[in-house]
Amino acid sequence: MFDNLSEKLQRVFKNLRGEGKLTAANMEAALREIRMALLEADVNFKVVKQLIENIREKAMGEEVLTALSPSEQVVKIVHEEMIKILGSHESRLRFANDPPSVFLIVGLQGSGKTTSAGKLARWLSRNGHRPMLVSVDVYRPAAREQLKVIARESGQTIYEGAPGEKQPLELARAARMESVQTGRDVLLVDTAGRLHIDDDLMTELQQLKEQLNPVEILFVADAMTGQDAVKSAGEFHRRLGITGVILTKMDGDARGGAALSIRHVTGQPLKFVGVGEKPDALEPFHPDRAASRILGMGDILSLIEKAGQELDQKKAVEMQRKLIENDFTLEDFRDQMRQVRKLGSLGSLLDMMPKVGMLKDLKNVKVDEGEIGRVVAIIDSMTPRERDNHMIINGSRRRRIARGSGTTVQEVNQLLKQYATARKMMKSLSGGFLGRKMGKMKMPPGFPFGDMLGR
Amino acid sequence: MIQTLFGAAGPEPSLLEKLKSGVQKTRAGLVSALEDAIQGKKEIDADLLDELEFTLLSADIGVRTTNEILERIRQRVARHQLDDAAELRGLIRERLLEILQASERAPVRVEEPPAVVLVVGVNGSGKTTTIGKLAQRFRNEGRSTLLCAADTFRAAAIEQLEIWGERTGTPVIRQGPGSDPSAVLFDALQAARARRVDCVIVDTAGRLQTKENLMAELQKMSRTAAKAIPGAPHEVLLVLDATTGQNGLEQARKFTESSRVTGIVLAKLDGTAKGGIVVAIARELDLPIRYVGVGEKADDLLPFDAGKFIESLFEK
């Protein structure tokens, strides 16, 4: 649905090539595109207005005159201005000198407070803390039950309190005492969802704040929030003085422009983003990546990071050796597929790729999530000998493999063809390019990496 | 006149009043802001158009719909059909009504109960609460209703629905957490037949529209429903959070593709001044809005009627 901003800008500046200079006139069209892109990403109107002013000012300055490509330069300015608002580095949680540190988790209904509380507890315990959860949501049906289940499933400690307790303040007080007695260093207080205009409930939060003296008041916001983000976040901040923001549901396709709006209106940093339904799906917030996402420029850094976390390093080294020695069998092919699978769905991987330049057709790619599964099934249905040497797979073997994997002979053929192509490609890479280039390189005596290059 | 699954319903005397108090914020954010912009102006100039654009965009009406409305105004001004700023309010009111009315569509008439209503949406949009209120509404209309707890994924979702069941005196068909939603649905439909109830409301787990496997699960549930009761699900309601921005469009689009959404429920409308997303959805996706949620109480779910909605926004 959304066109990438840099593509749009490229179109705007197409006639400009060679001039290499931005004038007031041709900047107007570009600024209009930028404005649209930001609005469609749900950045608040007022924030957009100010951003545009800043961008205009900067772009008109001399910095742009030396630009190689005007569109690149403008995108860069937009990106920089956004990061200026979002904060230039990750923001850490604060802890009290005198434990327990109380974190109050607040927000509108359905923004994801309870789920985030559970994820945050998990994140804290993985990072050397001993958190305790408590739900003081006495209003929503089964809200306390929900946190209990989440705590149980993710192995976190929770203060349950009396089932019929109707007083949030009482629950919080008891939980705090319990956490002191059991030596917990963080108490996560999950509060009921409320509208920022609900005076009674906002007063209740103020009372909770007074009683608990929290070090962090985390405002949980849905990444899909529209223009209203400014109002609700602003009001929560005015009444409570929030200290940070958790942006949830970033695994969807919302651009998350609300991040800019909230940061702009509260001045408080975004600390975490929720990126999935699993208990571990909570990540520290990275301003630069968020800016790229709002602009639709992909999130290649997250992809690389993810690959680093999930891929088996040993296997990767082994694979490299096999490639160079041209020893790449169907079994390795299958391993590789499985590794890719670990990174998540193909669709979500594609979403992280920047869709510009060479890769710009990617956005039209329809991913068949079952494809990898079928490939693995086909290879699973081969005998070890067949996997070792694909040349022996004749017609009758192909029929057997197809039957065994629940696919068709055509699909088996296709896979074998893909494999053969991949092998050939690797051969030319390793035998040709890599092999020769590296062979010719003269390493100085004692060069520490000489051995690693396979000689 | 409001159409329901069981034919036309009688007028609700207090509907307009309730709507008015529910859309208070949107009225302030949209209509009052429009009036402020127009007030005291005589001519329609670039500044005024800028103001209008600002107001429409900040009500989440969306870039496209806003552009379209402004383009109309510009054209009329150019043709000298419009030159008095005071006429703008009426013009915008008329256009918004047109857009909302164009997407109005009565639900299919269910001749042979039970009617099956599948409720879908992203996480935290307000599905379970909407279902509780819907059960109350059906009960008030004298329909016997059964709730089906097919959100077997989220922690304590089943308990939450059961509490709503107790509050509204509606039986709930459930299985354990983690069981197959289609199996729960099948059970519920069998029970509905056996007990001869009028209506089954099915709660589903929240899912982001980008999760293809979860969207496929919804398709499976629709197929299961159709197998148990021909023509089911008769209504697939997508619950949208009124504070959602332009992503609401994407949600509506993807849910419509995969599970044949027949109508929208706009939840949490009382909390936002930005209910404009209804206009964007009506215009771009041609989906009718069935209900709006305007509060936390069981009877705070109101049937949607384009005329009444616009009236409640524009009339004092």
Picking from A111, A148, A232, the nearest residue to B124 by CB comes out as A111
Residues A142, A223: one domain? yes
Q: Do B250 and A231 touch (CB under 8 A)?
A: no
Q: Do B246 and A41 touch (CB under 8 A)?
A: yes
Buried b (16+ CB within 10 A) or exposed e, A107-125: bbbbbbbbbbbbbbbbbbb
Residues A283, A421: one domain? no
The per-residue pLDDT for range A126-167, each reduced to its tens digit, is 999 999 999 999 988 889 999 999 999 989 999 998 888 889
> CA dihedral defined by B50, B56, B59, B64, rounded to 10 degrees?
-110
Q: Is residue A444 part of a domain?
A: no
**Three-state SS string across B285-308, please?**
HCCCEEEEECCCCCCCEEECCHHH
Residues A154, A237: one domain? yes
**Helix, strand, coil fractions of chain A, as percent rounded to 5:** 60, 10, 35
The per-residue pLDDT for range B106-131, each reduced to its tens digit, is 888 888 889 999 999 998 888 999 99
Count how many domains chain A has.
3
pLDDT above 90 for A294 = no
Question: Residue A429: its pLDDT value, please?
Answer: 54
pLDDT confidence tier of residue B90, bands split at 50, 70 and 90 = confident
Q: Is residue A247 part of a domain?
A: yes
Picking from A1, A225, A348, the nearest residue to B244 by CB comes out as A225
pLDDT above 50 for B161 = yes
Q: Is residue A425 part of a domain?
A: yes
Residues of B in contact with A145 (CB under 8 A): 155-156, 159-160
Q: Looking at A276, A297, A318, which one is the last position of a domain?
A: A297
The per-residue pLDDT for range A116-132, each reduced to its tens digit, is 999 999 999 999 999 99
- Which residues of chain A from 153 to 192 reach within 8 Å of chain B, CB to CB? 153
Residues A313, A428: one domain? yes
Q: Is residue A94 part of a domain?
A: no
Task: Specify the CATH number for the domain of residue A394.
Answer: 1.10.260.30
Picking from B54, B164, B245, the nearest residue to A224 by CB comes out as B245
> Which carries the bigger pLDDT value, residue B34 or residue A336?
B34
Residues A50, A189: one domain? no
Q: Is residue A96 part of a domain?
A: no
CA torsion sign, B140 to B143 to B148 to B151?
negative
> Which carries the bigger pLDDT value, residue A334 or residue A263?
A263
Residues found in chain A:
455
Model pTM score: 0.74
Question: Rounded to an integer, what distance in angstroms lies between the CA atom of residue A381 and that of residue A428?
Answer: 29
Q: Is residue A111 part of a domain?
A: yes
Residues A71, A109: one domain? no
Task: Specify the CATH number for the domain of residue A219.
Answer: 3.40.50.300
Residues A336, A391: one domain? yes
Picking from A108, A142, A195, the nearest residue to B160 by CB comes out as A142
The per-residue pLDDT for range B216-241, each reduced to its tens digit, is 899 999 999 999 998 889 999 999 98
Task: Specify the CATH number for the domain of residue A32.
Answer: 1.20.120.140
> CA dihedral defined by A440, A441, A447, A451, rounded to 10 degrees?
-50
Q: Is residue A290 part of a domain?
A: yes
Average pLDDT over chain A, rounded to whole? 78
Pick from A156, A227, A294, A352 the residue to mutate for testing the B interface (most B CBs within 10 Å): A227
- Which residues of chain A from 5 to 64 reach within 8 Å of chain B, CB to CB? 36, 39-42, 44-46
Residues A235, A353: one domain? no
CA torsion sign, A340 to A343 to A345 to A351?
negative
Q: Looking at A41, A56, A86, which one is the last position of a domain?
A: A86
Residues A133, A244: one domain? yes
Q: Is residue A54 part of a domain?
A: yes
What phi and psi values does residue B53 have, to the nearest 5 degrees?
-60, -45
Question: CA distances (Å), B68 to each of A399, B30, B78, B253, in order?
Answer: 59, 17, 15, 20
Query: Is the minimum CB–CB distance between B183 and chain A shorter than 8 Å?
Result: no
Residues A36, A173: one domain? no
Residues A191, A73: one domain? no
CA distance, residue B190 to nearest chain A CA (Å): 27
Question: Rounded to an integer, what distance in angstroms lies between the CA atom of residue B5 and that of residue A298?
Answer: 44
Q: Do B274 and A153 touch (CB under 8 A)?
A: no
Q: Looking at A86, A110, A133, which one is the last position of a domain?
A: A86
CA distance, residue B277 to nearest chain A CA (Å): 9
Q: Do A252 and B248 touch (CB under 8 A)?
A: no
Q: Which domain holds residue A366?
A: 301-438
Question: Residue A434: its pLDDT value, please?
Answer: 41
Residues A289, A355: one domain? no
Pick from B243, B249, B294, B296 the residue to mutate for testing the A interface (most A CBs within 10 Å): B243
